Amino acid sequence: MTVPTDPHLSDLARAVGQRLQQASLQLVTAESCSGGWIAKAMTDIAGSSAFFDCGMVVYSYEAKQRLLGVRAQTLEQFGAVSRETVLEMVSGALVNSGAGMAVAVTGIAGPGGGSADKPVGSVWIGWKQRGGYARAQLFQFEGDRDAIRRQTVLQALTGIFPAL
């Protein structure tokens, strides 16, 4: 059985990998709603060990705290899907890896789990280069679970370019 590929995503991941190599950086991912899809997109590229360090899939509050150092009070006060949480996730990913560039995502891919304040499709993405400032952006994606996750991956990778 052949797994279908997404040429746009493959091309984007390849371009990100080349840019990371040019900058002599490796990437670490901290993923919640994308479930490791960003890491998969990057490691689908032959030779990705030159620009990819590791990826962490952190769905539970406990995993976010244990693996990324997200503070319990941040999760309690702002929730997992928040600017504050994604900034702690992206910083924690750098602290707990050998990478020089990090991307983190947390959101509500659906079909359930949304609220009036945080509807399905709400996704926070954070980026940070080691030694630099973290930045985060809220996106409101449309579609089913797969579409929301795919859009998350595309935006997460696209957002790496301005950070380099």
Supply the CATH number for residue 57's domain.
3.90.950.20
8 in any annotated domain: no
Percent of residues, the chain, with pLDDT higher than 90 = 93
Note whether residue 9 is domain-resident. no
Residue 66's contacts (CB-CB under 8 Å, 6 or more residues apart) are: none
Confidence of residue 7 (pLDDT cuts 50, 70, 90): low
The tens digit of pLDDT for each residue in 121-144 reads: 999 999 999 999 999 999 999 999
Structural domain including 155 reads 24-163
Geometric angle at alpha carbon 157, from 152 and 160, rounded to 5°: 130
**Number of domains forming the structure of the chain:** 1
**Domain-embedded: residue 83:** yes
Counting every residue written for the chain, the total comes to 164
- Is position 54 within any domain? yes
Give the pLDDT score at 164.
Answer: 82
With respect to residue 65, please indicate whether it lies within any of the assigned structural domains.
yes
Helix boundaries (H) for the chain:
7-22, 37-43, 61-68, 72-78, 83-95, 145-158, 160-163
Q: What is the mean pLDDT of the chain?
A: 95
For 33-91, what is each residue's pLDDT tens digit?
999 999 999 999 999 999 999 999 999 999 999 999 999 999 999 999 999 999 999 99
Question: What pLDDT is stored for residue 1 in this prediction?
Answer: 36
4 domain-assigned = no
State how far the alpha carbon of 53 is from the alpha carbons of 21, 38, 42, 58, in Å: 12, 12, 10, 16
Q: Please tell me the distance from the alpha carbon of residue 146 to that of residue 41, in angstroms, as a whole number.
A: 15
- Asked whether residue 10 is domain-assigned, the answer is no
pTM score: 0.95
pLDDT for residue 31 is more than 80? yes
Q: Is residue 31 part of a domain?
A: yes
Place of tokens 């954070």: 126
Percent of the chain with pLDDT over 70: 96
Average pLDDT over residues 86-98: 98
Residue 151 DSSP SS3: helix
